[in-house]
């Protein structure tokens, strides 16, 4: 056994004949050299992460702002749009999902996709992709709470973690992920909890899926509900998303907003109810009005967490009649904004209440 000048330990053995086998002992080859870097596509939509004063950062400028990125992934870039998240339309959501599906289908060697988004509606876009990107490879949605060239800009750090998450083999099959502030959350469960703080994105009740640690990407749990590759929603067959409105319950709320939604063409309404989905007396009458017009009503909670179970006529003396029961759907544990997205997609494939309730139980 001898030590070479560069610190490599080596040993010579001659087991048979004149064969010479050289065995290198010790870890001396950098990870980037030992294995080919994963290739990850960045698709930008805009948001605070690129909203530099005076103009907006391009995808290439975003990548250039991330230190040491080339040690972890081989980055590709593509601009889908460059606007605030509130400016994205539902048609753009649909086209973005189609584009991501096409990118993943057309490039089997691509490790994953990173999508930038404004944080105001990031959880909604991420959940839509969670239900419509039908691939196992990871799609990671990322943003920042602070603008470029401001003190404490978090965009570069969040981008680095998002690229690492998208390139990690352990991220496959977990659905669409949201990576900010070194934490990894599921698109189904994550919500924005603060208007200003960097640690705004959280999963209430269930906790993070994993973390982007210094040395590697670490996961602690998986999402059990259906998503991505197991989804029944084919975005290539959807030409438009139906109108679905959200109405909140509050003390003394009338049913006027529910009726207005029905009269203005809504195909579904999500009620952000009090507690376990309670509504005001006026809203209950209006929900019956929605039922008479074959408008589906999904009941959720405004509390921020908790599951709404389907009504049971044997236990609830105030259970709705058969017609209303057919149109009244339990939102399970989905936040109102996410229940709206699932209802929109459900209405593109069925008009049966039992089938829609099944979807809320599965996704």
Of the residues 13, 27, 44, 48, which is catalytic? 48
Is residue 200 flagged as an active site residue? no
Cα–Cα distance for residue pair 91/254, rounded to 1 Å: 32
Is the distance from CB of 51 to CB of 148 less than 8 angstroms? yes
Query: Other C-beta atoms within 10 Å of 67: how many?
Result: 10
201-225: burial string, b at 16+ Cβ within 10 Å, e else? bbbeebebbbbbeeeebebeeebeb
DSSP structure class, residue 196: S
For residue 26, the SS3 value is coil
Query: Other C-beta atoms within 10 Å of 270: how many?
Result: 30
| DSSP per residue, 57-92 | --HHHHHHTSTTGGGT-EEEEEEEEEE-GGG--HHH
Query: What is the phi/psi pair of residue 311, to 5°?
Result: -65, 145
Can you tell me which residue has the tokens 């605030």?
Answer: 84
Cα–Cα distance for residue pair 201/183, rounded to 1 Å: 9
- List, by residue number, the catalytic residues: 48
């Amino acid at each position: 056994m001898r030590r070479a000048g560069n610190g490599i330990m080596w040993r010579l053995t001659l087991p048979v004949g004149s064969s010479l086998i050289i065995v290198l002992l010790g870890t001396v080859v950098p990870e980037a050299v030992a294995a080919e870097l994963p290739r990850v596509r960045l698709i930008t939509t805009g948001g605070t992460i690129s909203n530099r004063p005076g103009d907006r950062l391009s995808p290439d400028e975003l990548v250039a702002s991330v230190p040491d990125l080339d040690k972890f992934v081989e980055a590709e870039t593509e601009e889908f749009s460059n606007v605030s998240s509130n400016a994205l339309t539902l048609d753009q959501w649909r086209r973005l999902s189609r584009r991501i599906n096409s990118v993943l289908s057309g490039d089997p060697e691509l490790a994953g996709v990173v999508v930038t988004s404004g944080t105001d509606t990031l959880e909604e876009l991420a959940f839509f992709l969670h239900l419509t990107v039908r691939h196992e490879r990871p799609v990671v949605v990322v943003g920042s709470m602070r603008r470029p060239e401001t003190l404490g800009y978090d965009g570069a750090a969040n981008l680095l973690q998002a690229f690492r998450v998208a390139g990690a083999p352990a991220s496959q099959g977990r659905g669409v992920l949201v990576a900010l502030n070194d934490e990894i959350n599921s698109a189904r469960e994550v919500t924005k909890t603060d208007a200003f703080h960097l640690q705004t994105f959280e999963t209430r009740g269930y906790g993070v899926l994993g973390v982007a640690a210094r040395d590697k990407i670490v996961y602690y749990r998986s999402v059990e509900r259906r998503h991505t590759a197991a989804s029944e929603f084919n975005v290539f067959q959807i030409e438009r998303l139906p109108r679905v409105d959200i109405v909140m319950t509050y003390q003394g709320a009338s049913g006027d907003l529910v009726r207005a939604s029905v009269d203005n063409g809504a195909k579904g309404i999500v009620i952000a109810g009090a507690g376990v989905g309670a509504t005001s007396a006026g809203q209950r009458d209006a929900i019956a009005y929605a039922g008479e017009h074959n408008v589906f009503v999904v009941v959720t909670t405004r509390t921020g967490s908790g599951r709404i179970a389907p009504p049971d006529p044997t236990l609830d003396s105030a259970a709705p009649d058969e017609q209303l029961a057919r149109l009244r759907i339990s939102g399970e544990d989905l936040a109102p904004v996410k229940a709206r997205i699932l209802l929109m997609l459900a209405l593109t494939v069925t008009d049966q209440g039992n089938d829609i309730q099944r979807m809320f139980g599965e996704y």
